[in-house]
Structure 1
Amino acid sequence: MSGGWESYFIPGTKVLKNRLGLDDAEELRILEEKLVFLRIAELDSAPVEGAFDYAHFKAIHRHLFQDVYDWAGEERTAPTDQFMIKAGHAYYPAGPEMTKTAEKLFAGLAKDDFLRGLEIDEFVAKLAELWGELNVVHSFREGNTRTQTVFFDALVTAAGYQLNVERLASDSRVRAEFIAARFHSQDTGDNTQLEEVLRGLVGKRAV
C-alpha cells in the first residue's frame, strides 16, 4: 500500500479496502475478527517461524490478515508528516524513522538474548518495556494488538515462561486494565503499570 491515509479506504467511504469485497465497516469488522481468529487457531499446530526479529513480527501480521488486506505484513505508509493520533494517543509517523525505531527495538531484544535466562521479575519488566515501546511504533494500519499478542506469546514461551493469552482475551476486566496500562505507558513513557498487569499474566511454563 502506498499513498496517504485516505488511500487505505474505499473511495468515498471510511471502509478499509479489503479482499472480501465488503463496503460496510461493521460487516468487515465482524468477518475480519472471525478470519483472524481462525488464523490464530492455526498457530497451535503450525506457528509462524522466525528469529523474533522485525521480519518475524511482520510475518505474523501477514499470516493473521492475509485473507482480509492486500497490505498484510507491510508497514503502514501514513501519516508521514505528523504523529498518528488514535483515540487521543500518539504513535510514530510512518516512514524511515518508524522503521529505524522498530529495528532498533528488535536489535535490542536480540542483544538481551530474547529475554532468556532471566528471573521472572526482570523478565516481566523487560517484557513490559518492549511491549510498550513496540506499541508506540504501531507498525500496521490495522491489527497491531493481535499481532503483538501472538508475537509476545511466542517470545514468552521460548524464554521458558507462559503468557495467559486466554485470560487476556476473555476476562474483560483484565483486558481493560491491560489496554489502560498500555495507553499509560504510551502517554507517559512509564511502563510500571503495564508491568503490573503483565505480572498477573506471566508465569512459569508448565513442563
Structure 2
Amino acid sequence: MYDAIDDPYTYENSTVLVNKLGLRKQEDLDDFEAEISSARSAEPLPEGQLDFAHYCAVHHHLFQDVYEWAGKPRTVRISKQGSPFCFPEHIDVQAAKLFLQLKADHFLENLPAAEFAVKAAHFLAELNAIHAFREGNGRSQLSFFAMLAERAGHPLDLERLDPGAMLDAMIASFDGDETELAQIIARLVGA
C-alpha cells in the first residue's frame, strides 16, 4: 500500500483507487487488477522506441481496463514504508534523463551477460525510484524490462523469477545497493 496525501486517485474517505468497475473493496480491486493485467501481459505488448512514451504505453496496455489514468504519470507524491518516490513534478525530467542514458548505452545491446545484469540492475533501480504511476509500477517495469532484455540479446527466463527475492532486491536497490538485483538479473539471463 502506498502512502499519499490528499489523493485524488482514491475514493473519498478510502484508500481504494478509483477504478472503472467502481470496486470499493481493496481485495476485490486487487483480484480484478491482477486478473486483467495478467491477461493483458499475455497479449503482444505495444511496440515502441524503448523510451518513456513506450514505457507509458506498456502501463496503459496492462491497466487500460482498470484505471482511467492508465499510462499517465501520477500527479501526487507517494511513498512506501516512509521512502518517498520521485516527486511528480520531476517525473518527466528524471524519466527523460534515464531513457536518454539507456539510448546512449545502446539499449544495453552487445554486452556480456554479467555486464548486462549490472547495467540493467541500475536501469531498473532508477526506473523504480521514479515510480511514474500511481499503481502498477512493478508489473510495468517487469514487462518493459523483458522487452529490453530480449532486444539486448539476453531474454529473461521468468520461470526462474522468485517474486519475493525480486521485491527484496528492488527495496535494497532503492537504498542504493544494486548488487542483489544484478545477481537476480544474471540468473534470469543465464549468466
Q: Name the TM-score class by shorter chain.
A: over 0.9
Matching of residue 200 in structure 1 with residue 152 in structure 2: no
CA–CA separation in structure 1 for the residues paired with 2:125 and 2:147? 17
* Residue 19 of structure 2: aligned partner: 18
Gaps of 5+ in 2: none
Partner of 2:20, secondary structure, is coil
* Residue 52 of structure 1: aligned partner: 50
Deviation at 1:91, TM superposition (A): 1.2
Gaps of 5+ in 1: 169-173
Deviation at 1:5, TM superposition (A): 4.1
TM-score of the pair, normalised by structure 2: 0.93
- Kept in 1, the 8 Å contact 2:86–2:129? The answer is yes
- Kept in 2, the 8 Å contact 1:138–1:144? The answer is yes
Deviations 1:109-165 (A, max 9, x none): 000110111111111110001001110000000000000000000010011111122
Deviation at 1:87, TM superposition (A): 2.3
Partner of 2:165, secondary structure, is helix
- Kept in 2, the 8 Å contact 1:9–1:15? The answer is yes
- Kept in 1, the 8 Å contact 2:73–2:91? The answer is no
Superposed CA RMSD: 1.4
* Aligned pairs for 1:30-179 within 5 A: 30-43=31-44, 47-79=45-77, 84-95=78-89, 97-168=90-161, 174-179=162-167
Change (3 A) 1:121 1:167: closer
- Kept in 2, the 8 Å contact 1:15–1:24? The answer is yes
- Kept in 2, the 8 Å contact 1:89–1:183? The answer is no
* Residue 6 of structure 1: aligned partner: 7
Divergent runs of 4+, >6 A: none
Deviation at 1:180, TM superposition (A): 0.9
105-114 vs 176-185, which moves further: 176-185
Give aligned pairs, total.
Answer: 187
64-73 vs 13-22, which moves further: 13-22
